[in-house]
Amino acid sequence: MKQHKVLILGAGAAGAAAARVLNASQEVEVTVIGATGEAPYNRTLVNKGVAVGLLTPEQARVPGLDVVADTVDGVDPDSRTVHLASGATTTFDALVVATGSAPRALPATVRGADVAGAAGLLTTLHSLQDAVRVRDRLAGRSARVVIFGAGLVAAETATLLRDRGHQITLVARTDMAGTSAFGDHVAARLRDLHERNVTTQFGRAVTEIDVADDLLDITLDDSTHVLADLGIVAHGTSPSAPGPWYDGVPVDDRLRSAHDSVYAAGGVAVHDDPSLGTWRIDHWADAAAQGEHAAKSVLHDLGLDADPGAYLPRSAFTAQVYGTTVAAVGLTGGHTTASLTSDDPLVVRHEYSGRTTGVSGVDSAIQVFEWMPRLHAEAHV
C-alpha cells in the first residue's frame, strides 16, 4: 500500500509534469484534479493551432494523463482538505497547486465590452473554447480583426491571422508593448515589426465598443473609430488560484508555500526568493520545469528523495512574428534590468543583483540559447 497521498490541482503543463515525477515513486498515490467537463490540453496550441484551423480541439489534448474532472472550490490548508464543485471533499499529505492562469479582460471602464462578449464578437484567446470561438467566427472569409495588446501572444496571433488573409489592427495602451517582459531593445523591434506588417494604434486605449449589424464599432480615446468583425483581448494573464489564495500562491525557492505541505508551480506561482526577487513566469516550458521541481521538493519533504535545491528558471521559448524569430531563456521580466549584448543580431542580457538571469533576442536563437548553462552564475564580467 502506498504511504503518501499527493493531490495535484490542475492538469496543464505544471500539473502533468509534477504527476510524471510523482508517479515514478512507489510510495506515493497521486491524484490529478482538473476542471469539470474539461480534458487536459496543450495551451500553446490554442492560438497556434486551433484558433487558425490547423488543429482540431482533440489534437490539442494531452494524452496519457488520468484526471478527476471536478473543479476545485477551495482548499483548507490547515486541515489538508480540498473541496470540489461536486460537493465531494478529499484530503492530502501534500498538495501541488498548478491551476495556471486566467486572461486579463478589458478594463471595466470600457463601455459595451460585456455586450460585445455576449454577442460572441469579443473574446480572449486563452482556452480551447476561446480558440473554437475565433476559428468559427473567422472561417471561410477575410475578416477585420482588432487585437487589444501588442505583446508576444498578440504578435503571434496577429502573424497567424494575417498570414491567413485577415486584416489586423493592434490597439495598445503603450507605444512599446513588451518592455516589462523583455526590456526596451526587444520591445522596440517588436513595435517596428508590427508597424511594418499590420495596422497599429499604439498609445491608444479603447473607451467604448458598440455592436451593430454583426460588427464591432470600437471607439478609441482620441475619438478614432475602428470597425471589426472580431475583437481579441491579449492583455496578458493573472494567476488563477483557488481559495484561500486567489491572487496566486506565494512560494519560496523550493516552490513551497507558507502552508505546510502545500506547493505551487507554473502560472499560479508567485516566486519570492533572495537570489531573484519577486517574479512570475507564465509559459509552457517553464511551467513544466516548475512542476517537476515542485514534485521533487514534495518527495524530499516526504523523506523519499534528495533536496532538489533552489528553482532557477532556465527554460527557453521562441515565437514566430512576421517571419522573425523572438527567443528567450530564463527570467527576462520581473525586476531584472536589460542591457544590450549585441545589436546585430539582437541579443539582450537581463540581470538581477549582478547575475544574468535571462537572455532574449531577435533572430538570434542560437546565441540566446548558448546562455542557458551560464544563467544564474556569478556576476557577469
In the predicted model, is pLDDT for residue 180 greater than 80?
Answer: yes
In the predicted model, is pLDDT for residue 148 greater than 60?
Answer: yes
**pLDDT of amino acid 381:** 36
**pLDDT of amino acid 225:** 97
Helix pair angle (184-197, 152-163), 10° resolution: 20
For residue 13, give the H/E element and its range: helix 13-23
346-362 average pLDDT score: 96
pTM of the model: 0.95
Cβ count near 380 (within 10 Å): 12
**pLDDT of amino acid 1:** 64
- Parallel, antiparallel or unpaired: strands 68-69 and 167-172: unpaired
Q: For 73-123, how does the pLDDT look when each residue is reduced to its tens digit (9 = 90+)?
A: 999 999 999 999 999 999 999 999 999 999 999 999 999 999 999 999 999
In the predicted model, is pLDDT for residue 303 greater than 80?
Answer: yes
d(CA 381, CA 302): 41
Q: For 114-124, how does the pLDDT look when each residue is reduced to its tens digit (9 = 90+)?
A: 999 999 999 99
| Helix, strand, coil shares, percent, the chain, to 5 | 25, 35, 40
d(CA 158, CA 322): 9
For residue 5, give the H/E element and its range: strand 4-9
pLDDT bucket at 2, cuts 50 / 70 / 90: confident
Cβ count near 73 (within 10 Å): 15
Residue 78 — left, alpha, or beta (φ > 0 → left; ψ -120 to 50 → alpha)? Answer: alpha
Locate 167 and state its grid cell.
486584416
Position with higher pLDDT, 65 vs 314:
314
Nearest one of 22, 13, 14 to 300, comparing CA atoms: 22
**pLDDT of amino acid 380:** 40
pLDDT bucket at 65, cuts 50 / 70 / 90: confident
